[in-house]
Amino acid sequence: MFVAAFTVLVLAGLVIFALVRNADSLPKSFLKYLGYFLLAGSTIELLLLGWVVIYVAFGDASWSLSTNEFWKQQLSGIYFVKEWLYSWVWNDILNFLLAYLPAILFLAMRTTGTTLVGLWALSASRR
């Protein structure tokens, strides 16, 4: 599990480093599109985070509710997507992200990261 968490951190760091390092050589339209795409995704993630917080606060779930359990209980119509992901992505990484991290923590970190990268991409597209 430690290896999977370390791999996620290293890959995310490498992608962000590559974007920042090569921002001048990327087309401005790509950076603008990427920024708007990530900010739109952040809005959806923020709504999902609010849903999880309301579900935990007013439901019978605990604050340690995993993303996997939330999908099973509230998003059962698209649960097949998670099962499909397990056939394509390294299972330990998905277990770390979806089964062991609490949903609130995972969504908060993910929303913060995508918002920051989206804002950076928009500011880089204006330079």
Averaged pLDDT score across all residues of the chain: 88
Domain extent listing, the chain: 2-125
What is the pLDDT, as a whole number, of residue 35? 94
Q: For 78-110, what is each residue's pLDDT tens digit?
A: 888 888 888 887 787 778 777 888 889 989 999
- Which residues is 66 bridged to in the sheet? 102
Q: For 7-33, what is each residue's pLDDT tens digit?
A: 888 888 898 888 888 888 889 999 999
99 Cβ contact list (under 8 Å, min separation 6): 66, 67, 68
124 Cβ contact list (under 8 Å, min separation 6): 23, 26, 31, 35
Rounded to an integer, the average pLDDT of 44-50 is 94
What is the pLDDT, as a whole number, of residue 1? 65
pTM of the predicted structure, to 2 decimals: 0.80
Share of the chain above pLDDT 70, in %: 99
pLDDT of residue 5 exceeding 80, the answer is no
What letters, b where the CB count within 10 A reaches 16 and e where it falls short, cover 54-86? ebbeeeebeeebbbbbbbeebeeeeeeeeeeee
